[in-house]
Amino acid sequence: MTARERSYPAPGAVHVPGWLSPDDQRRLVAACREWARGPVPMRHTRLPRGGVMSVQTVCLGWHWSPYRYTRTADDVNGARVAALPQWLAEWGRRAVAEAYGESYGDAAAYEPDTALVNFYGAEAKMGLHQDKDERADAPVVSLSVGDTCVFRFGNTENRGKPYTDLELVSGDLFVFGGASRYAYHGVPKVLPGTGDPATGLAQGRLNVTLRTTGM
Ligand SMILES: O=C(O)CCC(=O)C(=O)O
Ligand SMILES: [Fe+2]
């Protein structure tokens, strides 16, 4: 096996393999387990046309439901979402600093105010979409733990080519900002059984995206 190297699938998009230590991965899994319990339980997001997402989601800081952010989860139980912990925002600052290096203005000023925590079972997918419900163009920081997935990262124009398919493995960091902030991206498939149960996740995949809502 060749060592997985950092790659830049598009301008402003950076994949950093193996960014989270095994300890950090365990910490994130344990935290996600707590967040999944409440005050707003993790659930399959209902879509406006009646479908449900195959992914299960819980939000911190702000609650995302198609296609806006609110403080309370009115489509779930009406509760206010849990706060975004400072340690996670700090991971976001470190992620931006390490992904972009000197080319990014002031990573210390990166202040994400929401996180979407997504759980993918073996059959879950996420169609190609843009993260565009935020009113700020700060980068999105994505952390993955558990089963490997195929992540498709495309262009800002449409769901077609050019795009790059890469594998996000447990512990990987992916950051997209700048010219790629509004690029289409999605998860065509998860590769069941590829995660290490030592993370605390016996099956499935967790992905946490940190964002700045601008609200
Ligand atoms: O699961 C992933 O890697 C991507 C998640 C995503 O695109 C989203 O939550 O908007
Ligand atoms: Fe997204």
Structure token digits, residue 156:
């800002």
For the chain, list the strands marked E by DSSP. Answer: 7-10, 13-16, 43-46, 52-60, 63-65, 68-70, 114-120, 126-129, 140-146, 149-153, 164-168, 173-176, 185-190, 205-211
Task: Give pLDDT tens digits for 67-119.
Answer: 999 999 999 999 999 999 999 999 999 999 999 999 999 999 999 999 999 99
Tell me the per-residue pLDDT of 135-145, one tens digit each, with 9 for 90 and over. Answer: 999 999 999 99
The ipTM estimated for the assembled molecules is 0.99
Q: Closest Cα to residue 38, out of 99, 82, 102, 92?
A: 82
pTM for this prediction: 0.98
CATH assignment, 7-211: 2.60.120.590
Q: Ligand 1 centre and the CA of 209: distance in Å?
A: 7
Considering only CA atoms, which residue is closest to atom 4 of ligand 1?
Answer: 186
Domain boundaries, the chain: 7-211
4 CA to middle of ligand 2, Å?
23
Q: Is the CB–ligand 1 distance for residue 126 below 6 Å? A: yes
| Token digits of residue 61 | 């800081």
